[in-house]
């Protein structure tokens, strides 16, 4: 993903926002990937690695958070995994993401 245009000019402060626990249903064609689960080896092209990169790009998780910390810090879990080249329909992952609600806002509970 290309870097965000405004990230250098205006840093994003995740502490100002509440978190929300969500479940994401993902489907993918796995032909170009090394499986679903992120790996600590040289093979970065996994579905999970691309998912984390996308969530960082849209600032739902901090850009500087190492992928190895996501499971613990964001309560990340997945329903399963696939091997290299395997496609899937309807896999589910759950994690805590940044909410649109600010911490000091008054209104309905947002996670």
Question: What is the SS3 assignment for 36?
Answer: coil
pLDDT in tens, 87-106: 999 999 999 999 988 888 66
The structure's pTM equals 0.79
- Residue 83 is among the residues annotated as catalytic for this protein: yes
pLDDT in tens, 52-100: 989 998 999 998 888 778 889 999 999 888 899 999 999 999 999 999 8
Pick the catalytic residue from 13, 40, 69, 83. 83
| 17-28, strands of its sheet edge to edge | 17-28, 88-102, 77-78
- The whole-number pLDDT of residue 2 equals 53
């Amino acid at each position: 993903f290309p870097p965000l245009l405004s990230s250098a000019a205006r840093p994003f402060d995740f502490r100002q926002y509440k978190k929300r626990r969500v479940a994401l249903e993902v489907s993918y064609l796995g032909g170009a990937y090394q499986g679903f689960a992120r790996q600590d080896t040289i093979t970065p092209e996994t579905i999970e690695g691309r998912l984390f990169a996308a969530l960082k790009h849209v600032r739902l998780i901090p850009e500087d958070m190492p992928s190895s910390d996501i499971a613990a810090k964001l309560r990340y879990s997945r329903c399963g995994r696939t091997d290299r080249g395997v496609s899937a329909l309807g896999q589910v992952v759950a994690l805590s993401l940044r909410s649109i609600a600010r911490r000091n806002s008054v209104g309905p509970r947002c996670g």
